[in-house]
Structures are given as C-alpha cells and as structure tokens.
Amino acid sequence: MRLVELEDGESTMPTAVFFRADTPSTQFEAERHYGRAAIAAYVDGHEGRLMRSLKSILGSSLLDQATDIGAGRNVRYRDVLAGILRHLKLQAEASAGRPLTRAVLGRPVYFVDDDPARDASAQAALEQAARAVGFQEVQFQYEPLAAALDLELRLDRERRVLVADIGGGTSDFSLVRLGPARRGRVDRQDDILANHGVHRAGTDFDRQVSLAAIMPLLGYRSRRAPPRGAPPDADMAEVPSAIYFDLASWHLINTVYAPARLAELRSMRDWYRDPAHPRRLLAVLVDRLGHALAARAEAAKIQVAQQGQADIELAELEPGLQQHLATATAAEALAGEIEAIEAAALETVRRAGVAPVEVDAIYFTGGSTGFTPLVERIAARFPGAERALGDRFASVALGLGEHARVVFGDG
C-alpha cells in the first residue's frame, strides 16, 4: 500500500477549494483550484471564494443550499463536496493507472453531536457524493480507529488507548479499545468508549504567538497619544485592537486590505504615541504582508518548541527589525489554549468512566502534535500510559487503506 501524490510531491492535501470569480463561464472548471493551490490563490489576492472545513456542513440544512462564488454565479455545497471527492478520485486513478470503484471513507465519531438522525443523514450525504463521482462500493471507518491502526497491529492484548488528533483547527480525543481480537471487525462502533473535542489547535497557537510577539511592533496594546496640552505621560486608553486580531487570524487577514480599512487606519495615525507603529502597520496593509507575518508566527512557534527561543526577522517592515521570542513569553501566550486542550483530554476519559491512570496508551496524530510542549502536557496527565506517535499528517489515510484490505481484500 502507498499514498498517492496529490500535489507538488505531497501525499496530503488541505480540504480547500477556491472558485475564481473572474473566470469566464465557459472556463469555470479550469479555474476551480484545490488544496494548496486553492489557498495560494486566496493568499495571492485573486477575486473569488475560498471554502475550507466542508465536513462541518454535513448533517446541516446548508448542504442543499447554494452559495455565491462571485460574478453572479453560485454553487450548491453538495456539489462542492462532490467536486473535492472527484478531484481526489481522479488523482488516485491517475496514480493507479485504472478506474477505482471502491472506497473506504473516514468519518468522525459524530458528524453531529447528540442527534443520531442528523448524524446518519450526514454519513448518507457523504456516501451519496462518493457514489455520484463513480464509487460503486462505499464503506466507512471511524477516523480515530483508523489513525491508531498501526498501533493495534503491534498489540498482543486488548488496550484502552486515548487517540489525540490535534490539527490546525480542532483538537479531538477518542478513548478506544484496540487489540488483536478486534482487529478484523468491520463494525467497530462499540470500540469507541468516549469522544470529545474543542475548537483549539495549531492556528490558535499561531494567533497567540502573533499577538504576543509581532503585533506589539505594529502598535497592539499601545496607549493612545495624549491630546494637545495634556502631559506627555497622561494615562490614555489603548488604540483599537480589532485590526490586530484580524491580522493574527488566518481566515480574516484578507479583510484588512479593504480600502475602507486602509482609509480608517490612515485617519488614526495621530492616535499613536510611537509613529513607527502606524508606519509599520500601514506597510503591512499596503504591501499585503499579513499572511507572511502569520507564517513567521508559525515558524517562531515551532522554533521555540524545538530550541527554546526564536528570533523573528521582520526586515520587510523596517530594515533590521526583529523580535525575540523566549520560552517564557511563548508559554504565557499559549497557556490558555494548552489548558483547554488538556481539559478536553481529561473530559474524554471522564465520559468513558475511566480514570486517567487506567489509560494504557496515548496515540498522538495531527499536525500540531509536532509541538512538543503540548504533547508533554497531555502525556503528564496520564502517568501510566505508553506514548505512541503516528504519522502526523497521514495516519488516518494509512489506517483507512489497511481497513480497505479487510473489507475489500487486496484486489
């Protein structure tokens, strides 16, 4: 079994699609971009509509609604979902050199919490989309079980395993039963003892690092200049923070480039005590550097985790400008996010009626589990648990492939 190359030599692809608003109707399909290409088109400022995290609409009334994609055109969410599946199917067929008619799809433990009817409807809609693009046989497997399948293959007895799937947008935990006697079962719903999650993960870490280390250089949390005639050290309110929060939030960055926002900021230049702050902030907006700053924050987060400190180079804002990020500063900035994720892990085992000391192993997967301080904090809560690290980006896909062997055979 092998992973298919999906784009630019990568075997994984962000679930994203971008519709170019300036595309002539006769060329509509040619200007629908997927994965990294979709995100790049959005970051580059092309007119259009970026859609991400489409799995969240399954089980909702939005699925059959249409959404505007610019230039007077719209598309149904259901068709967007099918389009992504069709794109992946074509990539896989090109790699295999033959048509593919069978598929195992991953699904979360719950598409919709506490609503079995809507949850079943969500899976049915995903299956319908898969059949619409040409899959004739469709099976499902729970993503936490798929993620930890490589660990299960190594077990010689039944174990209770906490699967920690921490990505860019959410941190999801599942307490599952794994073992050699369960390995070949097709229906494993009763092997999931509990599930819980929070909308806190990697992009939230990047946002907090940006607010702590980069945005202060642009005036975040600085005090307004005193009015004429007032003492220079007069106690004044902070400058408005909204633009800094938007600049630090990946999905909102493009909104700060709107002419109205730029005009508003220019009218506020005299509010700042330090003239360097509005000058740098204007440079970010005029030169559209928001996503570059977000990338610097992400790189600094990783470097601090690995080396204990980071120097963030910002010469494009001002020659020689840089910011030092120390471990203590990063820890303070990320404390709230890590505590929320840690609490979700503990809540998961509580819901299963299991004490933390009774967890046999923790299986870490998802891109943000490369952030060592987070892994250490979670592991410390389960002192008797063996620690296992999966493929951070592909463990679910690999597990689904192995499950396909069980349900479809090697052919």
Beta strands in 148-203 (DSSP E): 159-166, 171-178, 192-198
Distance CA 390, CA 306 (A): 19
Q: Are strands 159-166 and 361-365 parallel, antiparallel or unpaired?
A: parallel
Q: What's 289's DSSP letter?
A: -
Pick the closest to residue 91 from 81, 100, 82 (CA basis): 100
Q: Looking at residues 155-183, what average pLDDT do you find?
A: 93
Lowest mean pLDDT among 33-42, 103-112, 147-156, 226-235: 226-235
Torsion of CA 59, 65, 68, 73, to 10 degrees: 130
- List the structure tokens of 188: 């494993």
Could you report the per-residue pLDDT of 259-311, keeping only the tens digit for each? Answer: 999 999 999 999 999 999 999 999 999 999 999 999 999 999 989 988 889 99
Assign 3-class secondary structure to 45-71.
CCCEEEEECHHHHCCCHHHHCEEEEEC
Q: What is the pLDDT of residue 50?
A: 87
For strand 361-365 and strand 386-389, is the pairing parallel, antiparallel, or unpaired? parallel
* Superfamily per CATH, domain 16-135: ATPase, nucleotide binding domain (3.30.420.40)
Local structure of 354: helix, strand or coil: coil
Return d(Cα 21, Cα 159) in angstroms, integer. Answer: 52
Categorize the per-residue pLDDT at 382 as very low, low, confident or very high, splitting at 50, 70 and 90: very high
Tell whether the model's pLDDT for residue 30 goes beyond 50: no
- SS3 of residue 323 by DSSP: strand
What confidence score (pLDDT) does residue 24 get?
Answer: 65
Percentage of the chain exceeding pLDDT 90: 62
Domain residue limits, the chain? 16-135, 203-330
CB proximity list for 263: less than 8 A, separation 6 or greater: none
Helix (H/G/I), strand (E/B), else coil: 169: coil
How far is the C-alpha of 147 from the C-alpha of 156, rounded, in Å? 18
- Name the average pLDDT for the chain: 90
Give the gyration radius of the chain's Cα atoms.
24
- Is pLDDT of 28 > 80? no
Reported pTM = 0.86
Rounded average pLDDT over 319-343: 94
pLDDT at position 410 over 70: no
Cα separation, 387 vs 92, in Å, equals 33
